[in-house]
Amino acid sequence: MSENQNKVAFITGANRGIGFETARELGENGVKVILGARDNVKGDAAVEKLKSQGISAICFPFDINQFSDHRKVYEYIEKNFGKLDILINNAGILLDNRPEDAANQTSITSQEVLRKTFDANFFHLIALTQTLLPLIRKSPAGRIVNLSSILGSLTLHSDPTSPIYAFKTFAYDASKTALNTFTVHLAHELKNTNIKVNSAHPGWVKTEMGGADAPMDVTDGGKTSVQLALLPESGPTGGFYHMGDKLPW
């Protein structure tokens, strides 16, 4: 644990679900966690729960869609810590009709759904990463984890024998495919630095987004993100992983 005690992590969408579990596990490993939360009350409650477990945690009011929040969190981290060791781009939305509710509706997916989905899951996520990157460069072992999804895999979506073949939520899936592209390109740019950039598929988890039928309990939802956040110097960069296994793009 001692090697992580000076590490600071910022996790977006961290007051509940996968983000909260990621914060909990990183905190258990000695990392100081900053929880980005749109709802201050829920964020503060999440922090108190973590503190009751002996975890060093802070709530920071944060909405990925508000660029002013990007600058505010940069200034807060710079002032109080001088660097950022771990960025977990966890916040995301799914606005499509789900496959269990309706058939593939790609041909009628609205521009509004596409734009809102890409803003939260792609464009504004990239903006935040670019804003915080100067602080991550100051870390001796910077780690960027982009929360993707197996539904972003074009290889599996085009394979009739794959387990996700019938699950076509176009806007969400396309935003995660685009996010994976960002991972590959940013990792390549930073390949000769101490920063590692990877995409994580947390699994199909019982959360508000995942639903009650998901096979994974929420307590396991943060494991892949934590693994990638705490990669050793010899660890991979520019990959797509679930529980240590590499996934196809």
pLDDT digits (tens, 9 = 90+) for 42-51: 999 999 999 9
What is the per-residue pLDDT for 214? Answer: 46
Instruction: For residues 185 and 181, give the distance between their C-alpha atoms in angstroms, rounded to a whole number.
Output: 6
Closest CA to 24 of 2, 46, 1: 46
Q: Which candidate in 32, 74, 172, 223 is catalytic?
A: 172
Which one of 3.20.10.10, 3.40.50.720, 3.40.50.150, 3.40.50.2300 gives the CATH number of domain 2-246? 3.40.50.720
Give the global pTM. 0.93
Assign residue 9 a region: left if phi > 0, alpha if psi is -120 to 50, beta otherwise?
Answer: beta
> 83 an active-site residue?
no
Specify the range with the lowest mean pLDDT, choosing from 145-149, 174-178, 218-222, 232-236: 218-222
What is the per-residue pLDDT for 203? Answer: 78
CB distance 23 to 34 below 8 Å: no
Res 133 pLDDT > 70? yes
CB distance 26 to 86 below 8 Å: yes
List CB contacts of 32: < 8 A, sequence separation 6 or more.
7, 8, 9, 56, 57, 58, 81
- Tell me the average pLDDT across 2-20: 91
What is the per-residue pLDDT for 1? Answer: 44
> 168 an active-site residue?
no
- Tell me the average pLDDT across 9-36: 96
More confident residue, 4 or 109: 109
Residues 87, 91, 92, 98, Cα dihedral to 10°: 120
What is the per-residue pLDDT for 210? Answer: 46
Would you call 219 helix, strand, or coil by DSSP?
helix
Instruction: For residues 196 and 204, give the distance between their C-alpha atoms in angstroms, rounded to a whole number.
Output: 25
Provide the 8-state DSSP code for 98: P
Instruction: For residues 237 and 249, give the distance between their C-alpha atoms in angstroms, rounded to a whole number.
Output: 14
- Tell me the average pLDDT across 3-8: 88
Q: Please provide the average confidence, as pLDDT, over all residues in the chain.
A: 92
**Helix, strand counts (H, E) of the chain:** 8, 8
Instruction: For residues 193 and 82, give the distance between their C-alpha atoms in angstroms, rounded to a whole number.
Output: 18
Question: What Å distances lie between residue 74 and 69, 183, 214, CA to CA?
Answer: 8, 21, 35
Q: b/e string for 134-145 if b means 16 or more Cβ within 10 A?
A: ebbeebebbbbb
**Tokens encoding 209:** 């987004």
What is the per-residue pLDDT for 4? Answer: 85
Would you call 196 helix, strand, or coil by DSSP?
strand
Instruction: For residues 241 and 177, give the distance between their C-alpha atoms in angstroms, rounded to a whole number.
Output: 14
Q: Which candidate in 7, 32, 176, 196 is catalytic?
A: 176
